[in-house]
Structure formats: C-alpha cells, structure tokens
Chains A and B, each alone.
Chain A
C-alpha cells in the first residue's frame, strides 16, 4: 500500500509545472478546533477539553483519461494537551482517487470503462446515504475530512434513458486511519446497477454481492414535483451485517460480530424559497444501530462497571456502539441554509449588501425515540474571490443536547467550536 502511495506521490512530483492538457486544482485549509469533553456512562475522559490545529493540502490532477486526487493531511500541528507545536503531528499522504476512465468499443457498442481507485457515490440524500455502499464516508462532518475511493473496475453502457453498469469494487486500500469496525466492513464484491431518468423522475436499482454483506439490494428515487419541491427516497437491504453485540453476561465486553440481515431506508424532501432559504427534511431507519432498549441496557450495565478499575474496560467497550454508521435506529435530519445573495436581490437598502458574503447553515440531527439532539451551525464568510483564487473563513459550532440519557449524550465530545480558513487556487 505504501508503494502505491509513493508511486502516486512520485507521479505528482514529476508533473510539469504548466502543460496544456494538464489540469491541476489546489485546495488548502487550516482548521483550529476546541472540544469540550464530558463524562458518559461508558468513558470518563482524562481531560476536560482538547484543542488542536490541523492542515490539509489537496490537489486534483487530470490528464487525458487519468484523474488523480491526492491529499496531505496533517493532524495536530498544534495541540494543547500535551502542549506543543509540530511535536505530535500526524502527517498522512492520502491517495483519494487515482483512476483511468475511457470508452472502448465492444461488438459495435461503446462501453465506458473505469479502472482504479475512485469513489462511487450512488446515494441521493443529505443526512445519510445508504447507497454510498462501497466505502464508508464521514456523515455530516465538521472541520477537515478526507474521503477516499474504493478500488474499482466497472463497465458502463449509457443509453437514452440512463445507464447500465457492472462493477467490481474492493475497499481494502485505505490510506486514512481506519478503526476495527471499518476494517471488519472492508469488502470486495461484484454487482450490477441501473440508473434511469423518466421525465422529472430518477431511479436506481443495485444488486451487489460481496464477502461482508453476502448479498445486497438497493434502490433510490428522486422526483422534482414543482419549481420548489424535491422528494427523494433510498433503501438498502443486506443479507449479513457487522454489528457490535451486547453480551449475555454483565461482565463480558461488547463484541463485533457478524449478524443477520439488515436494512436501511430513508425518505426526505428539499424545499427552496424565492428569498434564498433552503430546507431539507429527512427521516431514516437503520436496523444495524442499537435500539432504544439496547442503549438503555448498555447504560444500565456500564454505569456500575465504570466505578471499578477492574471492570472499567468492560464499561468502555459499550462505547463501541457509537462506532456504528448510525448511532440510533430512528433518525431525523432538519437542515436550513440561506443564500443571502438571493435575498438581497429583493432589497433596495444598500445597508444590507455586506451580507452577501455570508452564508449561514444549520443542521439538527434528532433522535426521536430518546430525545437526543446534535445541533450544528456554520457561518461562512467569503473573504477573497478573484476567480483565480479564493479564501473563505468558516466558523462552526456543534452542540450535543437533548435528553441526558440519550445515545447522543454518550458521546464524550459535548461541544466543538471550530474555525477554519480555506482556499482554492
């Protein structure tokens, strides 16, 4: 894997600075965050807060039918505990994508081929995307996040109404640090997908067999019903799944095991007003997550175990329930953002024109069964934009709130404040 990374780096370094057919696009970002930590029923953190500075340099290189996307991700350029600049820095070179895509003619039929590492994101939703099923991704991230693709070999046939594709994917090549749950979900498999467009409606059907799920069927639907409203739905059924299972005996730890069939379903809408306000509402269900009863049982069991140093590791093991792709089975996402430029189109008062450089955004992730809420707000200020280069400043705040015995309340990061400066050139 390291060889592949080095190969990609050497290919990047040997690029000519300017060449007509090359396209090189740079992004950079610096992110300073402060996290307020709190006790949960599973873990008592050793400190109250943590501050750190992270950096990201990201470049996309395209040449002919080749496309590469590489990131240098540096975490802990600075941290407060133990305090130090560059002493605890963790540098990662991540090959996010490196793929060749072209068309070939087979039996007088033009077939499009994809070979290499690339993301295949077939999900159609905002809060959770069941059909982004080949490589895990960070849901609803704040701060810096680097997504990478799976190794893919795919053939696609495009027709007047859509696309047929057959594909092989392998998600084992990961340059990002991955936890045990991600490792257990690393898969390889083959499948077939149909995408179609019927008037104002789009659908997808996917059948996939891999060595983790042992069979999966997925589908999605998107409809635009009028100028302002969009509705979408997606679902995935899988024959086998990886789940953290709570033990029969109180003194045994939580274990990661292969479980039976599982399914995820999501339905949602987007609504946009003339004044620039956009709203997204989504509900989704994930049978792989712990139910309300399982979370209550986990808290009840872990509470006494946490009191003794001997049984603390067993209590800590219950925190693994937070590693599932969804923390709870029933989820609601409410999203709002405001395109201030559109609002200003209607204003004659010059005093408000400074607002056009600001974009506010709010997410509320709600667990309706146990009353947990994760509220995230973003405020982005476009500082510089010449067309050749841009710099944005972004402030993000995330709060975990709602009921104190909810699943979200078991996350030790109670509050995160984050300031980011990011640019393109």
Chain B
C-alpha cells in the first residue's frame, strides 16, 4: 500500500514541477509534498525504527544512544531506550499524552507535553518521523538549497507550523527537492522563535528505494555540538494494542523490544 502511495506522490510532485516554477503551491499540493517527504523518512504506517544517535562536541564523539521506536498511525508511538545506561527506559506517546517508565521501576510517570519537550532533545528528534501529522505546511518560495556536502538542489521552501502542543519544534523551514520530493535540509525553531538546529538529510537506499538513511543536526545555539542520527532499520511492525496501553508500560520487559 505504502509503495503505491510513494509512487503516486512522486508522480504528483513531478506533475507539479512541470507547472510554472515560480507559482505558489496551494495547501493541498504542499500537504502532498510533505507526505512524500515523510515517505522518504518513515515509509511505513506502522513500523519499528532502530536509530543510533551519536552526539559530538567539537567533532569528538561524546556519547551514543540507541532507540527502538514502534510507531503506528494516529500519532501513537512507544520509544524503547536500548543503550546500557538507559536500558529498560520507555516513553509512550498517545497523541499529546506522555508516560515515562524509568529503568528498574514499576511506576509509569505521567508527564506533561512541556516535560516531554524538556527531555533529552534527541528523543524528540527520533520519536517523530513524520511532519504531516504534527505540522501545517505553507509554500514560501522555490530556491536552491545545499545539502551537507554543499551540493545544490532546486527546492521548494516550505514553512511548517506546529499544530500539536507536543511537537518538538514550533516552526520548521524545510527545503524539499523539486524533482523527487526528497527532504534536503531544515531549520528547526523553538517556541521562543530562536533557531535551535539545522538538519541535513542523508540520501541512501533502503529496500532498494531512495530513502533518508541519516540526519545530521547542527546545534545553532551551541555550535560545537552536533548530533548524527542513523536509521539502522525501518521495517513494517505491528505491536499488539496492549503495548500502547499506559497500564501495560510497567509490566513488559524490554529485552525483546
């Protein structure tokens, strides 16, 4: 199903680019472009995403984290923290409801959207792999955007505004390649309006298809900091419904998740 969706979306994007280049895109065209970009990132409606996060300071690797994220439609996901220093920790997200389960504890903690935003930043960056559910998009301009290797691409600049209280960033400026709908880079803004990070998306192949295989985040406030998120595996995955039940959080061990 998702394959057809991707092909359809790419066709649509191609049809759009055959239109006069400076023309503004309407809301439904923008929504379609964002969905296409999402497809390059997640590609599945219900999936298990294994991410390795490397945090650098002054280009030296400071620490690493592994997160296994089980996401499904309607903004529901279970994040399982796999690194030895966090092993056993879980975060459950059901729309704007959040629960945190600490290691070696049987007490799931209900947390507010603000507490979720204050948690380790990379959790927010790995836990949501789609923009279309959390943000409203608006076309700004067509211009040239450079990827992390300084290669230029003709791109749509789309401005995304958070439509949920728990979105990690209030505003995102997203450059999407006109030819393919592939995301090139993004500027991520906090609620204060301050630019927090600049994201660059790496082109790779997953299941013989073009896909985002990594994301590099340059910290705009603390320029010595850099985060590289590698998507080691994204595969269709259906967890039983009870795994998305807050009451189940305290009882399942994470060895097999």
Contact = CB atoms under 8 A, between A and B. Distances in A.
B221 interface: yes
Nearest to B113: A227
Contacts of B103: 25, 60
A294 to B, nearest CB: 32
Contacts of A227: 112-114, 165-166
B19 interface: no
B255 A387 contact: no
A53 B72 CA distance: 49
Contact of A424 (B62, B85, B96, B254): B85
A69 B84 contact: no
A388 B104 contact: no
A122 to B, nearest CB: 9
A272 B255 contact: no
A381 interface: no
Contacts of B118: 272, 276, 278, 339, 341-342
Interface string A327-350: 000000000000101101111101
A415 interface: no
Contacts of A60: 88, 103-104
Q: Interface SS of chain B: helix, strand, loop or mixed?
A: loop
A425 B165 CA distance: 35
A222 B98 CA distance: 12
A69 B247 contact: no
A101 interface: yes
Interface string B179-193: 000000000001110
A25 B106 contact: no
A163 B248 contact: yes
A274 to B, nearest CB: 7
Interface in A118-151: 118-121, 123-124, 149
Contacts of B120: 341
A389 B84 CA distance: 7
Interface in A198-253: 200, 202, 222, 224, 226-230, 232
B114 A387 contact: no
A387 B110 contact: no
Given A272-B114, A425-B84, A21 B247 contact: no
B221 A388 contact: no
B83 A121 contact: no
A39 to B, nearest CB: 38
Interface stretch (B22-30, B36-44, B238-246): B238-246
A162 interface: yes
Interface in A314-362: 339, 341-342, 344-348, 350, 353
B150 to A, nearest CB: 26
Given A60-B104, A339-B118, A388-B84, A101 B191 contact: no
A222 B110 contact: yes
Contact of A27 (B83, B104, B117, B221): B104
A41 interface: no
Interface residues of A, number: 63
B87 interface: yes
Which of B84, B105, B107 is most buried by chain A, counting CB atoms within 10 A of its CB? B84
B252 interface: yes
Nearest to B52: A387
Contact of B64 (A121, A344, A387): A387
A63 interface: yes
Interface string A255-272: 000000000000000101
B44 to A, nearest CB: 23
Nearest to A223: B110
B106 A197 contact: no
B97 A224 contact: yes
Contact of B251 (A69, A101, A226, A232): A101
Nearest to B104: A60
Nearest to B94: A197
A403 B224 CA distance: 51
Interface in A263-302: 270, 272-274, 276, 278
B163 interface: no
B196 interface: yes
Contacts of A124: 110
Contact of B87 (A23, A101, A232, A342): A23
B245 A345 contact: no
A394 B112 CA distance: 26
Interface in B146-202: 165-166, 190-192, 194, 196
A112 interface: yes
A28 to B, nearest CB: 13
A22 interface: yes
A409 to B, nearest CB: 32
A123 B254 CA distance: 23
B256 interface: yes
B18 interface: no
A158 B112 CA distance: 24
A195 interface: yes
A222 B109 CA distance: 10
B168 to A, nearest CB: 12
Contacts of A121: 105-107, 250
Contact of B65 (A156, A350, A387): A387
The 9 closest A-B pairs by CB, nearest first: A387-B64, A23-B255, A158-B242, A163-B247, A62-B255, A390-B85, A62-B253, A272-B114, A119-B106
21 contacts: A23-B87, A25-B84, A25-B104, A60-B88, A64-B256, A67-B253, A101-B252, A120-B106, A149-B106, A160-B241, A197-B94, A197-B245, A224-B110, A228-B113, A274-B114, A274-B191, A345-B190, A345-B196, A387-B64, A424-B85, A425-B84
Interface of A: 21-23, 25, 27, 58, 60, 62-64, 67, 69, 101, 112, 114, 118-121, 123-124, 149, 156, 158, 160, 162-163, 195, 197, 200, 202, 222, 224, 226-230, 232, 270, 272-274, 276, 278, 339, 341-342, 344-348, 350, 353, 385-390, 424-425
Given A222-B110, A230-B112, 6 more contacts: A60-B103, A156-B247, A229-B112, A341-B120, A345-B221, A347-B221
